[in-house]
Amino acid sequence: MQVPAARIVFSEADRAEIAAATAEILATGQLTLGPYTREFENAFARAHAAPFAIAVNSGTAALEIILRAVDVAGADVVLPTNTFAATAFAVQRAGGRPVFADVDPNTFALSAETVAEVLTERTKAVVVVHVGGLIPAGVSALRALCDKRGLALVEDAAHAHGSQRAGRYAGQFGVAAAFSFYPTKVITSGEGGMIVTSDDRIRDEALLYRDQGKAGFLGNVHIRQGYAWRMSEIHAVTGLVHLRRLPEFLAVRARIAARYDAAIDANPGLERPRTPPADVNNYYKYIVLPSSGVDRTSLRKELKEKHGVGLAGEVYEAPLHQQPVFESLAAGTLPVAEDVCARHICLPIHSDMTDAEADHVLTGLSGALRAQLLTG
């Protein structure tokens, strides 16, 4: 049996529906910012109990627009060092300076404590990343710290479609949240992103920025330096159809995660971030933290070659303060993030995964770990 690192799930019925809608979109010529975009926005807002959702053409654009609306130009913006480079790039493109912070080893995410360590007079915003789909339990304490210090809390919810913490959805903790529909994410539109907010000022700014700062779709008056951040109708209908599968995808991912949990917890050499029982993790990633001394590169190779199992990409393999492009922003060590980045692995988890596939992954994992003990 082969279990790939990722699998993108579009049922035959969904593919047919998207194909038919695409034909209609091409026939009408209404190719961008049309009825499918509005329908996708409304459905996404409803699915996250949010007042407003604004579709754009990537998660990175969604982040940059929020950061421009919050106006971080010339200011410091705190973000976790274990995030995708796009989080920091969006800060820089909005005119801010990324300040990398350490994370809580239990959630892989920022906490009030790790953020407090790096705040300066120049800090204006904090970007919390719901790493792997887990909204950190400390997010309320983080919000309280931001409120006390007059900072905007922004959610990079690229991993967290449908995730919940204490009965609240991703997107309800900060001033606004950015979601991504890149192909590997839990819901995809091919390429795309969504801004979710309850702030009508941020909604209005987002509508301006995504369409070249034009005061109206049909007008030619530009009142912001915007960009071509529009979502096409073909992407919108793809996302709309995929979004309907979210409850079913979450159920499959939760079932597989529970199967993994039982096996991981029975192995004293393995740990994992824990999702509080009442919360919803969408398991964009299933994270396992082997005790120190496991060689990830050879584990990955052994799993692939001997068991046909592809490990999913890490979150993340290297922290951003150690990436060449951010060299000038690095300010000392961030020991927890460095440790978890070096050690963790992500087991494959797909929205249509079978129990037999999960069991095959677990058998492969214990075999590969045993092989390491014998050779190490």
Ligand X SMILES: *Cc1c(COP(=O)(O)O)cnc(C)c1O
Q: Which residues are catalytic?
A: 185
Choice between 193 and 239, CB closer to ligand X: 193
- Cα atoms found within 13 Å of the Cα of residue 10, Cβ hemisphere only: 19
Q: Which is nearer to ligand X, 84 or 360 (CB)?
A: 84
Identity of the residue, 59 or 171, whose beta carbon is nearer to ligand X in the bound complex: 59
Q: Beta strand pairing status for 123-129 and 270-271? A: unpaired
337 neighbors 80 (Cβ within 8 angstroms): yes
Instruction: Return d(Cα 190, Cα 44) in angstroms, integer.
Output: 16
Least gap, CB of 188 to ligand X (angstroms): 9
Which residues lie across from 77 on neighbouring strands?
98, 125
CB of 221 to ligand X, least distance (A): 29
Q: Which residues bind to ligand X, rule: CB under 6 A? A: 58-60, 83-84, 86-87, 129, 156, 158-159, 180, 182, 193
Give yes or no for a contact between 242 and 352, defined as CB atoms under 8 angstroms apart.
Answer: no
Q: How far apart are CB 355 and ligand X at their closest, in Å?
A: 27
Round to whole Å and give the CA distance between 136 and 128: 9
Do the Cβ atoms of 259 and 354 come closer than 8 Å? no
CB of 359 to ligand X, least distance (A): 28
The answer to whether residues 296 and 317 touch, using CB atoms and an 8 Å cutoff, is no
The residue among 253 and 307 lying less far from ligand X, judged by its C-beta, is: 253
Q: Please give the structure tokens belonging to residue 45.
A: 């807002």
Contact 52, 62 (CB under 8 A): no
Q: Which is nearer to ligand X, 10 or 182 (CB)?
A: 182
User: How many Cβ atoms sit within 10 Å of the Cβ of residue 55?
Assistant: 30
- 156 beta partners: 129, 178
Q: Which C-beta is closer to ligand X: that of 102 or that of 156?
A: 156
CB burial of residue 105 (10 Å; 0-12, 13-18, 19+): middle
Q: How far is the CB of 60 from ligand X (least distance, A)?
A: 3
Tokens of 193: 């992103």
- If the CB atoms of residues 76 and 156 are measured against ligand X, the closer one turns out to be 156
Residue in the shown chain whose Cβ atom is closest to ligand X = 59
Question: Which ranges of the chain would DSSP assign to H, the alpha helix?
Answer: 12-28, 35-47, 59-70, 85-93, 112-116, 139-149, 200-210, 233-243, 246-265, 296-307, 335-343, 355-375
Provide the minimum distance between the beta carbon of 181 and ligand X in the complex, in angstroms, as a whole number. 6
Helix (H, G, I), strand (E, B) or coil at 288: strand
The tokens describing 254, both together, are 């939760």
Minimum CB separation from ligand X for residue 176, in Å? 14
